[in-house]
Amino acid sequence: MFVALRELAFARTRFGLMGAVVALISVLMVLLSGLSSGLVVDGVSGLLRSPITAVAFAEGTRTDSAFTRSLVSSAERDAWAARDDVADAELLGTAIVNARNDDGTPVDLTLFGVERGGFVEPATGEGRALAGEGEVVLSSSARDEGVEIGDVLTVDRVGTELEVVGFTTDQRTFGHVDIGFLDLRTWQEVHVGVPDGGPLPADTYDTASVVALRGVDGALPDLAAGDAAAGTAARTVEDAFDSSPGYSAEIMTMQLIQGFLYAISALVVGAFFTLWTVQRTRELAVMRAIGASTRYLVTDGLAQAAILLVASVGVGLGIGLGLGALVTGTGMPFALETGPIVTGAVLLLGLGLAGAGVATVRIARVDPVTALGENR
């Protein structure tokens, strides 16, 4: 690293500019990662943070909006519950509705009809758990909409009234809409959609959207065998994310942007070090002529790239996390998660080194004979 360090100091403007570009790319990486995680939380935290291991949909349901289209009955639930590798099987009703608060403010909700006291019902951080029909426990994020305990929400069209009795401990959203957990029977009434007093169809209280499953000790049950027995189409909860509204389109968009970002960073770093190597061809030839091995020169070049990358990605991460902290809680779907950010930083470093590695191929090819003769 003898030459590497001295060159970093000597050509500090050039390396500074390059470092600034890498740092900005890192900032963008952090922000995109935060946005991506935020979209996941906003889209499927209701499933992600639940103990559900798999979801059984009605057979033949279209996958992209299965949660709101699927219809199952207690027969399917019972078939799943009878299986040895299934610890819990419960009916879960899902529906996206518009509602209004006491003062007429519109509140959008995803209603999750759960079996009271069952494994899907979440813990409450404020207020109390569901005690009967006509009550609702809302995602903690619903407080941002101005909803408070004791408010009564009225579901549009059907007119069902829901009293807010509690909030969950953390954000529980589905399809970017706050979840309202309510008793399955209330959900079934809303789902059937018959206004107050009207006669209800016979199977009203036997219907839900899906069967929520939990394997024994959290292990994944044998879905294919269960499907054959129950006549359903079950998927792991992660696969079921795709059936949340807009989820796969959002994730694909973010992944495309991130993919391009990584490709660009590798190319930019590769291009910089290629030009830098070309610029140094003469001195590399001289060093080879006086006996420096290819390994010595390549190691030196890669060490230089590594120092530049680590320093600038580090600075970029710092700025990105600072900006991220400012953005969090502003209503933008944004969540800083260690895993994806570390992965992103490692990818930026790895791809940058790969780009610089391409440039070092030129170092290996420099012919020491060119050190002789005409100078530039």
Asked if 365 touches another protein (CB under 8 A), the answer is no
Residue 334, both tokens: 């944004």
Q: Applying CB under 8 A, which part among 7-15, 113-121, 166-174, 260-268 lies near another protein?
A: 7-15
Among 292, 298, 321, 347, binds another protein (CB under 8 A): 292
Among 219, 249, 256, 369, binds another protein (CB under 8 A): 369
Residue 109 is inside which H or E element, if any?
strand 106-114
Rounded CA-CA distance 41/108 in Å is 17
Q: Pairing mode, if any, of strands 161-168 and 135-138?
A: parallel
Asked if 13 touches another protein (CB under 8 A), the answer is no
Work out how close the CB of 23 gets to another protein at its nearest, in angstroms, rounded to a whole number.
23
Asked if 217 touches another protein (CB under 8 A), the answer is no
Cβ count near 52 (within 10 Å):
22
Rounded CA-CA distance 66/112 in Å is 14
Rounded CA-CA distance 127/137 in Å is 9
In the numeric block, the tokens 């024994």 are attached to: 216
List the one residue out of 178, 216, 167, 176 whose CA is nearest residue 51: 216
Which amino acid makes up residue 104?
Answer: G
Nearer to another protein, 14 or 100 (CB): 14
Asked if 373 touches another protein (CB under 8 A), the answer is yes
Among 293, 326, 361, 365, binds another protein (CB under 8 A): 293
Rounded CA-CA distance 299/295 in Å is 6
Rounded CA-CA distance 139/177 in Å is 9
Binding mask 53-92 for another protein (x = CB under 8 A): ----------------------------------------
List the one residue out of 211, 240, 235 whose CA is nearest residue 223: 235
Among 27, 79, 147, 371, binds another protein (CB under 8 A): 371
Q: Applying CB under 8 A, which part among 2-10, 217-225, 246-254, 312-320 lies near another protein?
A: 2-10
Residues that bind another protein (rule: CB under 8 A) add up to a total of 25
Instruction: Name the CA dihedral angle for 292, 359, 310, 323, rounded to a multiple of 10 degrees.
Output: 160
Asked if 3 touches another protein (CB under 8 A), the answer is yes
Work out how close the CB of 253 gets to another protein at its nearest, in angstroms, rounded to a whole number.
44
Asked if 287 touches another protein (CB under 8 A), the answer is yes
Residues sharing a CB contact under 8 Å with residue 238, sequence separation 6 or more, in sequence order: none
Nearer to another protein, 225 or 372 (CB): 372
Q: Applying CB under 8 A, which part among 91-99, 250-258, 279-287, 307-315 lies near another protein?
A: 279-287
Nearer to another protein, 261 or 363 (CB): 363
Rounded CA-CA distance 124/230 in Å is 33
Asked if 197 touches another protein (CB under 8 A), the answer is no
Residues that bind another protein (CB under 8 A): 2-3, 6-7, 9-11, 282-283, 286-293, 296, 368-369, 371-375
